[in-house]
Structure 1
Amino acid sequence: MAQDVLCEVNNCVYNKSGNRCGATQIYVVSNKGKEAETSHETDCRTFKPE
């Protein structure tokens, strides 16, 4: 399991110093059904704007 989750979305409430994600869990979904071939086909549903 990942110890550090990084995020470059500056206006997310979970983005902490050093671009560290402070969310207790991360929810990532595929834009292409249940499978994705690249990271470009995914979205982070954990995002919440400031």
Structure 2
Amino acid sequence: MKIEVKCEVENCKYWAEGDKCVADSILVVANSGKQASNERETICDTFEKM
């Protein structure tokens, strides 16, 4: 099953036209520990600067 992942970080090497993430896999982590209360408490650890 293919899932479309949107990303607005244009300086990430996995960013593609149309705000798409083209990484083979995505790793999202919590800012601290293993739980987050909302999206602001998470980080996309897949990010790599171009």
Letter of the 1:31 counterpart: N
**Partner of 1:24 in structure 2?**
24
Change (3 A) 1:33 1:2: farther
Q: Distance in 1 between matches of 2:7 and 2:20?
A: 6
Question: Which protein has the bigger helix share?
Answer: 1
Runs in 1 of length 4+ with deviation above 2 angstroms? Answer: none
**Partner of 2:10 in structure 1?**
10
Letter of the 1:18 counterpart: G
* Pairs aligned (count): 50
**TM-score using structure 1 length:** 0.92
Structure 1: gaps spanning 5 or more residues: none
**TM-score using structure 2 length:** 0.92
Structure 2: gaps spanning 5 or more residues: none
Instruction: After superposition, give the CA deviation of every residue in 1:1-50 in whole Å (9 maximum; x if it has no partner).
Output: 76110000010000011010000000000013110010000000000000
Aligned residues with identical type, % of pairs: 46
